[in-house]
Structure 1
Amino acid sequence: MTFGRLVFFFCFIGASFARSEQEIKKSFVQTAVECAKEIPVSGEEFQKLKDTHVAENKNVKCLVKCVLQKQGMVDDKGMFDENGSIKMAEREYADDKTKLENAKKLYEVCRKVNDEQISNDDQGCERAALLSNCLTENAPKSSATPRRPVILKSDRDVSKDQPKEKSEKEKPPTIILKTREHSTPKDERPASPRSQGNDVEGTQPSKIAQNESKERKDQKFKLMSEPVKLLDENLEFNNAAYEFLNDANSNYLVVGVIGTQGVGKSMVLNLIAQNVPLNDLSRQILNSHEVSPEPTAEANNLTPVESQMESLNITEAANKKSQDKNTFKFKMQDIEFIERGVHCTKGIDMYVTNDRVILLDCQALWSPSLIEETNTNPVTARSANILTVDCLQIASYLMAVCHVLIAVQDWFADYNFIRYIQTAEMLKPSLSASNTVNTSQESSEYNSSVESHPHLLLLHNRCQLEDYTPEAVYTMQDLYRNAFQKSNLQLNSGMYMYSDTNKNGLNIDNVCKGYNVDACGSPMNLFLLPEIYSDFDNRDIYRGHPQFEQLAKRLRWMVLGVNRHQITTVPNLSEKGWFQFCSKAWETIRKCPFFIEYERFLP
């Protein structure tokens, strides 16, 4: 979390204490989080800290005072402790007299804050805010220690009498990796294309070693217009999505969804994929179940003149059709699929939004239509067992490659579905052997035996009025809390319908006014989406919950705002590195003996 000029001040103070930039930020964030537990501050108030001065809000000023006090800058009354700050600077930074003098001058300027007459300031929050403004405004810009690039001496022979005019015309330093031995002859050394071009003009006096990720920033990648297959209908891994991934981006979010047939998995992912809010979202979801009318024989009998007129408007018609198609990225069940009782999604569909959110939509679990598709022979008991194992492998796979896993149900509660999630977690193998990804990011080794686990969001779709009562929410959370008490899946990630101010320190709006800790218990990752009726726009009917559009918007920002933990043991894994990990993870899961042994015990 960035706090604007206040962070700049602490970077200056940290520099005078000989601490690195990462240590400064880490210390400041830890201090701010500790203070936020004691002094609740809303998100809007945090945003005000980005301004030049501290916002005119007592909680914000008291938060600043708490941070300054924990840093040893002020006492309990908010008075600036100049002597203590100077002694600390002299002890920690005794080698650089210049910056020590700068710190003393800054403290001397801002000690006037202690002489200010402030009324109704028993806690010292107002005085601490004045001190913060004074320090941030008067801190010298050049006092922060700049990060210097690592300069490696070139192993090529450099002439000492090289003319200055020739060196000024040379191109910028070439980015290289120092991987060859000094004993290798110059003619046999491998060189990059850029370095070969520079050898014509002259020899570079020095080379700057930089991160390879900077070289990949200029690489082009395609934007997705529709989902592609990650696993096809035969559960074979598909590499078609590789060209849509950005190798220079490591700030992405992977969201997967599981559920039985017809519970609304594709609809939930369509809600998350919406970058622009739709005013008629409920109506478009209702219309998605309708089958597009087929052209009649009368419409097909067009005269040649009418056919020519249609050909003139082919571009406009294609654009309109594309806009209607792109409203929802994932195909949802229409009335034809529902009447036939078949599933809509086959394998795992993958879509990457422009915000670099990777959405994974999997096929229905335990769908009888899957048995009919995958078996040409008569259906037997073993056919059902094979389907069960395939679905367990898909669920374990999504647990291994996703940041967030959404478990969708359309009623409370399917005990078999809960046991299914527990079994998939139990059978999921350790993927440490699959974490060796062929990327340059392995240069910084990170050894950890801790297995990562996704955030699990329990989502109920098509909820009725009685499902939104505080008693029903309490019953749901109590059941899930007992069912997953021994699970490693993360169920307390902030994707709540109401907030626990005693635990979180932050206030968020409750879905319903009656939701609180006393009535519903401690919050967990549970969310309810209502049933959409044909008369949804009738405001005279009491629904017992906010509008569907408001809940869909809340669901989206909760999922996108969740903590993006490290999926593998490779730090800062890029999108393409994650895709390579997905390929090896699926290969490991398909060959895992746990699932084969589990099938033997099935009836």
Structure 2
Amino acid sequence: MSESGHSQPGLYGQGRRRRRRRDRDQGPPGQNLSGPSRDREYVPRERRDGSEEPAGPLLQKTPIILAKPPGERAKPSQSASLGGAPSLEKPIMLMKSRDEGGKPGTPPEMVPSAPGSGVAKLEREGQRPTQPVYQIQNRGMGSAAASGTVDPVIGQTKLLPPEKMKHSIKLVDDQMNWCDTAMEYLRDQTDMLVVGVIGLQGTGKSTVMSLLSANTPEEDQRAYVFRAQTQEIKERGGNQSSGIDFYITQERVIFLDTQPILSPSILDHLINNDRKLPPEYNLPHTYVEMQSLQIAAFLFTVCHVVIVVQDWFTDINLYRFLQTAEMLKPSTPSASHDSSGSSGADEGTEYYPHIVFLQNKARWQEFCPRNLKKMHMAVDKLMAHSHLKYKGTLSMLDCNIFPGLGRDYLETEVNLFLLPMLENEGEDALTRAGSGSSSTPLFSLLPGYRGHPSFSSLASKLRSQVLAMSRSQLSHTILTEKNWFHYAARIWDSVKKSSALSEYSRLLS
């Protein structure tokens, strides 16, 4: 009995040392102990380094360990390395560089962590992929932020005004080739108006387009955005414009000035300079007429408003030319998709612009209400079979030019507008009215009789009415300025390669 009694404490101490070694390697072994030894060994359990016991199943039995002062607790990294279990205390991350976090833009969950670190996952959860506020506000501003164009209230860049054009540029050159120089002035916005002009030689197309776009009658004509004919060109019967000129205002109105249709100066230039004609044209006059038809058909497809300028009333061949260009224009989708079944097939599938007949250099007799009524009736009968929108969008009666006339005076009011001759201020009023030949007026203090309002007031009223016209949809999709440019380039290419125009050219020759 004595030997067995002395052997028991030794065995018990030996087992206790084994359990302590196992505690350091595997954690609290409270489940493997039995009897009173479990209470004596585990209740006062503390680590030798003074750290708290990691959370475990026995956390509820020993809540006193949570009341230890923070100074006696070890750091999370030490606790994880000593105990082998992750700490519950969340680390605090102030800033983490991009070199440590991987490539810029990498999410924090995708950043690789060092192997063997027990707090790598908690570090990824605590990391915030943010940047300083000043970097976010100044991002993408570049030199705009340094130049003082940043709104101090919201910290964003102010919208810069569109670039202002100083003069017109080529959209189609004199060789009838498309030019891409206008692309840099266009923007990605849809609120635009496209205005084109056609007319015979010397009718004042470039002057009218300059007054509608950017200039005033008081300015020098040499500073107009569309160059007018010089005195030398007028004397030799030449033409100033060639091809199609492009100009866009800051109000996003696109103006297209064109070379004269059926121009004798262009025909004379082809004959006298022995210019080679394209192989599909045999005669020079056929080539000149086909050029004019191509330009007119192009404008009828890509413009909201087309202004037909003439300087005397009226040329029957001009209306035949307009109807021919309407017939040969390329087919385009309708601007409105809600066309009723009662409308014609052509009206439901084709786009047609507004057309305005501008009587330039009009005499005072043409402003007589009786003559004005006859002019409207003549234009209405000549355009009766046309699908072009030649009535209902422009009215001289709304301009307070004829205050004594009501709206019902003109039974068929077409888009007809009259502009008088552009005159100097010091010119004789009586001579302008055709009532005398003296160089001095009878009453110098009284304004001379004109028979019509001044040119400046009429030009201003014309501009306001043209710019107020409806901006219908040109194609089956809503076009931005840049999309319109590409759409116009495709239309011009299709016009030059049109089989209908080729067949018409063959019939002419």
**Alignment equivalent of 2:415, drawn from 525, 530, 533:** 525
- Indicate yes or no: 2:301 matched with 1:400: yes
- Indicate whether 1:337 and 2:233 are aligned: yes
Q: 1:243 aligns with which of 171, 174, 184?
A: 184
Report the CA distance between 1:163 and its aligned residue. 4.7
Q: Where do residues 132-143 of structure 1 align in structure 2 (5 Å cutoff)?
A: none
Contact kept, 8 Å, 1:257 with 1:407, in 2: the verdict is yes
Match of 2:454 in 1: 547
Which amino acid in the other structure matches residue 489 of structure 1?
L
Identify if the C-alpha distance between structure 1 residues 338 and 509 changes in structure 2 by more than 3 Å, giving closer, same or farther.
closer
Q: How does 1:328-367 map to 2 (within 5 A)?
A: 328-367=224-263
- Residue number among 488, 491, 503 corresponding to 1:582 in the alignment: 488
Alignment of 1:437-452 (within 5 A): 450-452=349-351
| TM-aligned CA distance change 1:157 to 1:167, over 3 Å | closer
Q: How does 1:255-334 map to 2 (within 5 A)?
A: 255-274=195-214, 278=216, 281=217, 284=219, 288=221, 326=223, 328-334=224-230
- Aligned partner of 1:166 in structure 2 is 128
Give the aligned length. Answer: 341
Which runs of structure 2 are paired with 1:104-503 in the superposition (5 Å)? 163=125, 166=128, 222-246=163-187, 248-274=188-214, 278=216, 281=217, 284=219, 288=221, 326=223, 328-375=224-271, 376-377=273-274, 382-431=283-332, 450-498=349-397
Q: Contact between 1:351 and 1:359, CA under 8 Å: does it hold in 2?
A: yes
2:473 alignment partner, one of 566, 580, 584: 566
TM-score (normalised: structure 2)? 0.61
How many Å apart are 1:523 and its aligned residue? 2.5
Per-residue deviation, 1:551: 0.3
Q: Does the 8 Å contact 2:332/2:351 carry over to 1? A: no
The separation in 1 between residues aligned to 2:108 and 2:297, in whole angstroms, is 57
State the secondary structure of the residue aligned to 1:511: coil
Tell me the equivalent position of 1:515: 405
Which string of whole-angstrom CA distances, capped at 9 and with x for unpartnered residues, describes residues 129-188 of structure 1? Answer: xxxxxxxxxxxxxxxxxxxxxxxxxxx99799875771665999x9xxxxxxxxxxxxxx
Quote how far apart the aligned CAs of 1:520 are. Answer: 2.7
Q: Larger helix proportion, structure 1 or 2?
A: 1
Among 463, 474, 479, which residue is 1:556 paired with? 463
CA distance in 2, matches of 1:158, 1:257: 63
Aligned equivalents of 2:282, 2:402: Cα separation in 1? 47
Q: Residue type of the partner of 2:410?
A: C
Change (3 A) 1:514 1:531: farther
Residue 598, structure 1, aligned to residue 508, structure 2: no
Structure 1 residues without counterparts, runs of 5 or longer: 1-155, 175-192, 195-216, 289-324, 434-447, 499-507
Work out which structure has the larger RCO, using CA pairs closer than 8 Å and 6 or more positions apart in sequence. Answer: 1
Is the Cα–Cα contact under 8 Å of residues 245 and 257 in structure 2 kept in the other structure? yes
CA distance in 2 between partners of 1:409 and 1:158 (Å): 74
State how far apart, in whole Å, the 1-side matches of 2:282 and 2:378 are. 32
Contact in 1 for aligned 2:108/2:129 (Cα 8 Å) = no
Report deviation, 1:254.
0.8
Indicate conservation of the 8 Å contact 2:297/2:325, yes or no: yes
Q: Distance in 2 between matches of 1:220 and 1:532?
A: 33
Aligned partners of 1:264 and 1:170: how far apart in 2? 61
Provide the C-alpha distance between the structure 2 equivalents of 1:537 and 1:580, rounded to a whole number of angstroms.
51
Partner Cα separation in structure 1 for residue 333 and residue 399 of structure 2: 40
- 1:337 and 1:473 map into 2 onto residues whose CA distance is 33
1:435-480 alpha-carbon deviations (Å, 9 max, x no partner): xxxxxxxxxxxxx973221110110001111101111111111111
Q: Distance in 1 between matches of 2:469 and 2:299?
A: 17
Residue 232 of structure 1 aligns to which amino acid in structure 2?
Answer: D
- Would you say the 8 A contact 1:455–1:493 is kept in 2? no
The structure-2 alpha-carbon separation of the partners of 1:537 and 1:240, relative to structure 1 and needing over 3 Å to count, comes to farther
Q: Note the C-alpha offset of 1:490.
A: 1.2
TM-score, structure 1 normalization? 0.52
Q: Partner amino acid for 1:417?
A: L
> How far does residue 524 in structure 1 lie from its aligned partner after superposition?
2.3
Q: 1:372, 1:220 → 2: CA distance?
A: 45
What is the one-letter code of the residue matched to 2:326?
E
SS at match of 2:508: coil
Change beyond 3 A, Cα 1:523–1:232: same
Q: Is the CA contact 1:229–1:240 (under 8 Å) kept in the aligned structure 2?
A: yes
Question: Which sits farther off after the overlay, 259-268 or 222-231?
Answer: 222-231
Shift of 1:348: 0.5
Q: How far does the alpha carbon of each residue in 1:233-264 deviate from its partner, in whole angstroms, 9 at most, with x for none?
A: 10100111111111x22111111000000001
Q: Is the 8 A contact 1:409 1:459 kept in 2?
A: yes
* Unpaired runs of at least 5, structure 2: 1-106, 111-120, 141-157, 335-346, 430-445
C-alpha distance in 1 between matches for 2:282 and 2:406: 48
CA separation in 2, counterparts of 1:517 and 1:493?
12
Aligned Cα RMSD in Å? 3.4
Q: Deviations over 1:41-85 (max 9, x none)?
A: xxxxxxxxxxxxxxxxxxxxxxxxxxxxxxxxxxxxxxxxxxxxx
Whole-angstrom CA distance in 1 between matches of 2:183 and 2:363? 42
- Following the alignment from structure 1 to structure 2, what is the Cα–Cα distance between the partners of residues 364 and 525? 21
Q: Tell me if the contact between 1:493 and 1:562 (Cα under 8 Å) persists in the aligned partners.
A: no
Conserved? CA contact 1:470–1:514, under 8 Å: no
2:21 corresponding residue in structure 1: none
Deviation at residue 218 of structure 1 after TM alignment: 7.7
Work out whether residues 348 and 361 of structure 1, in 8 Å CA contact, stay in contact via their aligned partners in 2: yes
Q: 1:470 to 1:383 in 2, by over 3 A?
A: same
